[in-house]
Amino acid sequence: MRIRWPFLLVFLLTLCSGVVLWLQRQYNDTLRGEVALLQTQHQELLRLRNEHARLAAARVSPERLAAIRSDHAATERLHAEIDRLSQKVREIERDEGR
């Protein structure tokens, strides 16, 4: 039985075409997976950018922070003054009780 060259040539071309199509499909599947991953990452990036913008808008300005610190220091001084005056009142009451 003798194989004819045109038949063999058509068979080889069909086989090569099938292999090329299979490789392209594998590559396309890989690319689709990467695109899906990139879309997920892009959504996460958008979420993080929105969160950053929200937090940046809520951030206390340096001037306001300085004012808060100043108020806190003044509050501590007033508490110390109240403690000192309370101690003085107790000493006066104790001296009067003698």
Q: CA 17 to CA 11: how far, in whole Å?
A: 10
pLDDT surpasses 80 at 14? yes
pLDDT surpasses 60 at 93? yes
Burial-class residue 88 by CB neighbours within 10 Å (0-12, 13-18, 19+). Answer: exposed
Concatenating the DSSP letter of every residue in 72-83 gives HHHHHHHHHHHH
User: Average per-residue pLDDT in the chain?
Assistant: 92
pTM of the predicted structure, to 2 decimals: 0.52
86 or 4, which is more confident? 86
46 or 7, which is more confident? 46
Residues 6+ apart with CB under 8 A from 68: 60
Q: CB of 48 within 8 A of CB of 56?
A: no
The pLDDT value given to residue 67:
92
Specify the 3-state DSSP secondary structure of 3.
coil
Confidence of residue 4 (pLDDT cuts 50, 70, 90): confident
- CA–CA distances in Å: residue 73 to residues 67, 76, 93: 10, 5, 30
